[in-house]
Chain A
Amino acid sequence: MVSTLAARHAAEIAGAVPDPELPMLTLADLGVLSEVEQDGAAVTAWLTPTYSGCPAVAEMAADVELRLRAAGFTEVRVRLRLDPPWSTDLITPAGRAKLAAAGIAPPGPSSPGLLQLGRTRLAVDCPQCGSADTEELSRFGSTACKALWRCRACREPFERMKEI
């Protein structure tokens, strides 16, 4: 996909843009930056939006454009790519490590999402103390992508990124 040195440079710049809601992660860590095409001074960056209603998409697009312009690319286009849809499986190992370091439990593998009715329990390790003795407080948290959990061992609440 990225063939030239300038294109690689553009991809690095675009990929280094922080996520507005999870600023410890870059768009490359999240797998939101799907492709960068470069032709001379013209660059097109393709972003895969996360949730349908994620309000951060506009911020991401604006930031990618600003940074590429600041790096000297004069003709910058940001485009959205809906297919294939974003999945938490696209988060890189480095991204997962950064999430855990920030106290957010990384997502497990994305599943087909069969109706569980509380019959299966997710095994989630506490990002603070590492204990597996944790429980879900709410499936929905401060942003669309996170759930609220609590560690029974260290008693600390923590957030967990949901598989999608």
Chain B
Amino acid sequence: MTTDDHVYLTLAEGDHEAEARWAYGTGFADPLLGVDTTVPPDVDGADLSLYCQLLGDDALILAQRLIEWCTKAPELEEEVALANLGLDLLGQARLLLSRAGQADGTGRTEDDFAYWRAEHEFRNVRLVELDNGDFAFSIARLLLFATARRALYQRLAAASPDPVLAAVAARGVKELAYHQEYAAAWTVRLGDGTAYSAARMQAGLDAVWPLLDELFTAHEAELRLGLDPAELREPVLAELAAVLAEAELTVPTAGPLARIGGKAGREGVHTEALGPLLAELQSVAREHPGATW
């Protein structure tokens, strides 16, 4: 093998022109590098930006929760799986938050959104920020989120008012199919397992179910873009019911978690779980502002 055949050997040879690839902020880190990012004339840039933040924050915060399973999952295979799912969501978050900064003309980067906003500026649903709980809780949460997000991406891929968002969704929908499949398979395995595993899985489902409704509750920016997540409610509930039937689990009947003064995650009103998560997520960037590595 000549050095020319292998990218890592080429690197090891100390090609000086190659040094740029090790540095962040060289342009190659832009997940929308060279993509036509013109906002369509009939789309309000501020609304589009906000909508991308809603979806991007969901993905970013759940990615962080999934990655927390590293070194703690029941089996190595599950640890690898959960980290892989987190990586997919992190990739989606990077694209969505980059799009958010372009759409409103502020030029904010993905890092500006992830590291330099305060808790009340995050727009994620409360479902994704809750502590991981036990494995069943995390699987139940993933099942709800992946089923709803896959349905949403399917719609966006076909009918997004923004072509960049449509492209992000078209790719994401394939990834979410694996996430949903993974969560559904574990739900069935635990639900249709022993009495003990079924009880734990049911408890996980019961705990996350009141947070499902927020995924179907529209933010005003969504409605102005002609998108209403309430349309997802019926198909998503039908898919979830099919999985729970297969798992011999009961569809929970608890109503939605109360909003605070009419507000919830989309309006920046969160549970106490988000603060500590953000403190960890943002600590290095805030300790060393502007650092590159």
State whether A66 touches B180 (Cβ < 8 A): no
Which of B29, B88, B243 sits near A115, CB closer than 8 Å?
A: B243
State whether A18 touches B6 (Cβ < 8 A): yes
Which of B6, B35, B80, B173 sits near A80, CB closer than 8 Å?
A: B35
From known contacts A63-B7, A83-B163, infer whether A115 and B80 are also in contact, taking CB-CB under 8 Å. no
Give residues 20-62 of A contacting B (CB, 8 Å): 20, 23, 46, 49, 51-54, 57-59, 61-62
State whether A54 touches B91 (Cβ < 8 A): yes
Give A107 to B81 CA distance when docked, in angstroms: 19
Give A144 to B15 CA distance when docked, in angstroms: 29
Which of B91, B164, B173, B188 sits near A117, CB closer than 8 Å?
A: B188
- Cβ of A140 within 8 Å of any chain B Cβ, yes or no, is yes
Contact with A along B147-190 (1 / 0, CB 8 A): 00000000000000001101110111111011011101100100
- Cβ of B287 within 8 Å of any chain A Cβ, yes or no, is no
State whether A84 touches B81 (Cβ < 8 A): no
Nearest B residue to A50 via CB reads B171
Give the Cβ gap from B227 to chain A, nearest Cβ, in Å. Answer: 19
Chain B residues positioned under 8 Å from A53 (CB to CB): 87-92, 94
State whether B181 touches A139 (Cβ < 8 A): yes
Chain A residues positioned under 8 Å from B81 (CB to CB): 138-140
- Cβ of A69 within 8 Å of any chain B Cβ, yes or no, is yes
Give the Cβ gap from B238 to chain A, nearest Cβ, in Å. Answer: 11
- Cβ of A162 within 8 Å of any chain B Cβ, yes or no, is yes
- Cβ of A100 within 8 Å of any chain B Cβ, yes or no, is no
Which of A20, A57, A69 sits near B7, CB closer than 8 Å?
A: A20
Chain B residues positioned under 8 Å from A79 (CB to CB): 33-35
Give residues 195-244 of B contacting A (CB, 8 Å): 239, 242-243
State whether A83 touches B182 (Cβ < 8 A): no
Give A85 to B174 CA distance when docked, in angstroms: 10
In the complex, which range does the number of interface residues on chain B fall in? 35 or more
Give the Cβ gap from B53 to chain A, nearest Cβ, in Å. Answer: 17
Give residues 80-120 of A contacting B (CB, 8 Å): 80-87, 110, 113, 115-118
Which of A49, A69, A85 sits near B17, CB closer than 8 Å?
A: A69
- Cβ of A77 within 8 Å of any chain B Cβ, yes or no, is yes
Which of A51, A62, A87 sits near B28, CB closer than 8 Å?
A: A62
Which of B5, B21, B163, B239 sits near A18, CB closer than 8 Å?
A: B5
Give A142 to B83 CA distance when docked, in angstroms: 10
Which of B84, B170, B239 sits near A83, CB closer than 8 Å?
A: B170
Q: Could you jot down 30 A-B contacts, CB within 8 Å? A: A18-B7, A23-B6, A51-B87, A52-B91, A57-B31, A59-B7, A59-B21, A61-B33, A62-B28, A77-B34, A79-B35, A81-B34, A82-B164, A83-B167, A83-B170, A110-B174, A113-B173, A113-B178, A117-B184, A117-B185, A117-B243, A118-B185, A138-B77, A139-B178, A140-B84, A140-B182, A142-B80, A144-B88, A148-B77, A164-B174
Residues of A within 8 A of B (CB): 17-18, 20, 23, 46, 49, 51-54, 57-59, 61-63, 66, 69, 77-87, 110, 113, 115-118, 137-142, 144, 148, 162, 164
Closest 8 A-B residue pairs measured CB to CB? A79-B34, A53-B91, A52-B91, A113-B177, A82-B167, A62-B21, A140-B81, A83-B167
